[in-house]
């Protein structure tokens, strides 16, 4: 695990975007694993800058997202599909047929999980997986638990995550309680992983991720077992380390 401590959110965004940009330059047809949340927004802004100034070409890039809420229409502004098109895909030349997210409206959840697993396999796996981190140590929607799921699955969100998401929804009933997510094996199979973290709210979990025992109680601690993980975190996120 390489840990880069940067000053603040903007520096985190530039550094992480720099790694993704290098991947695209070295392998223009790379498969990116993408994440949502407030953390990667600045990273996506930097990638759009790179595209606009002619340094980056997304025409052959493929992407698969980590997760999607169950029950949200892609046009719902809280869906991860909406987020990705709004914050990245609509602003670069990635082809629509080349980006993938789980379908939150799928009627048969088991079938949807199998379909999404198959897409990732058919692309040859993920070259670079971008991750944020939940305040409870979740990655994607692999929540702290006695056991973790390997492959794409429908996850039940914990109260901690539901509460963390409350700010984005009008009422408690509107907050999704389940989400489709890559499993831990899916994430760990990525050839390279970049985890970005910013802000004081992440300070408590970061020592457990980086130095803590490897435990399903902190799903991100499993990343210690991966051969190529880069953590880019700002001073606030690393303030308890």
Q: Is 143 a catalytic residue?
A: yes
Distance between CA 143 and CA 212 in Å, rounded?
17
Choice between 50 and 132, CB closer to ligand GLP: 132
Sorted by sequence, the CB contacts under 8 Å of residue 12 that are 6+ apart come out as: 6, 39, 42, 43, 196, 197, 198, 232, 233, 234
Least Å distance between CB 59 and ligand GLP?
27
Least Å distance between CB 234 and ligand GLP?
12
- If one asks whether residue 184 binds ligand GLP (CB under 6 A), the answer comes out as no
Of 33, 50, 102, 140, the one binding ligand GLP (CB under 6 A) is: 140
Sorted by sequence, the CB contacts under 8 Å of residue 182 that are 6+ apart come out as: 33, 64, 66, 67, 120, 140, 142, 151, 152
* Torsional class of 125: left (φ above 0), alpha (ψ -120 to 50), beta (otherwise): left
Choice between 37 and 125, CB closer to ligand GLP: 37
Q: Is 136 a catalytic residue?
A: yes
Alpha-carbon Rg for the chain, nearest whole angstrom, is 17
Task: Please give the size of the binding site for ligand GLP, defined by CB under 6 A.
Answer: 13
Given the residues 65, 68, 112, 136, select the one marked as catalytic.
136
- If one asks whether residue 180 binds ligand GLP (CB under 6 A), the answer comes out as no
Q: Is 228 a catalytic residue?
A: no
Choice between 138 and 192, CB closer to ligand GLP: 138
β strands within 61-121, DSSP E: 62-65, 67-69, 99-100
Q: Are 221 and 212 in contact (CB under 8 A)?
A: yes
Sorted by sequence, the CB contacts under 8 Å of residue 39 that are 6+ apart come out as: 12, 132, 133, 196, 197, 198
| Phi and psi angles of residue 69, each rounded to the nearest 5 degrees, phi first | -65, 140
Of 34, 66, 182, 237, the one binding ligand GLP (CB under 6 A) is: 66
Least Å distance between CB 38 and ligand GLP?
4
- If one asks whether residue 67 binds ligand GLP (CB under 6 A), the answer comes out as yes
Q: Which segment (108-116, 119-127, 133-141, 182-190) binds ligand GLP by CB under 6 A?
A: 133-141
Given the residues 46, 68, 127, 143, select the one marked as catalytic.
143
- If one asks whether residue 35 binds ligand GLP (CB under 6 A), the answer comes out as yes
- If one asks whether residue 141 binds ligand GLP (CB under 6 A), the answer comes out as yes
Binding site for ligand GLP (CB under 6 A): 35-39, 66-67, 132-134, 140-141, 161
**Residues belonging to the active site:** 67, 136, 138, 143
């Amino acid at each position: 695990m390489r840990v880069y401590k940067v000053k603040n959110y903007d520096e985190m965004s530039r550094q992480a975007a720099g790694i993704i940009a290098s991947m695209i330059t070295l392998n223009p047809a790379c498969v990116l694993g993408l994440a949502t949340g407030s953390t990667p927004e600045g990273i996506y802004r930097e990638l759009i800058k790179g595209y606009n100034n002619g340094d980056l070409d997304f025409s052959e890039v493929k992407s698969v997202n980590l997760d999607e809420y169950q029950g949200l229409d892609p046009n719902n502004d809280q869906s991860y599909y909406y987020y990705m098109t709004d914050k990245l895909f609509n602003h670069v030349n990635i082809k629509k047929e080349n980006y993938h997210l789980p379908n939150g409206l799928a009627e048969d959840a088991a079938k949807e999980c199998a379909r999404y697993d198959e897409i990732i396999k058919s692309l040859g796996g993920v070259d670079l997986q971008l991750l944020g981190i939940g305040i409870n140590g979740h990655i994607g929607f692999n929540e702290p638990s006695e056991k973790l799921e390997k492959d794409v699955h429908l996850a039940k969100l914990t109260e901690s995550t539901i509460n963390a998401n409350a700010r984005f929804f009008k009422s408690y009933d509107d907050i999704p309680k389940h989400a489709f997510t890559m499993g831990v094996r899916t994430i760990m199979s990525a050839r390279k992983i970049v985890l970005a973290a910013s802000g004081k709210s992440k300070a408590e979990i970061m020592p457990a991720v980086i130095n803590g025992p490897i435990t399903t109680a902190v799903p991100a601690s499993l990343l210690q077992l991966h051969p190529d993980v880069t953590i880019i975190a700002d001073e606030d996120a690393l303030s308890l380390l």
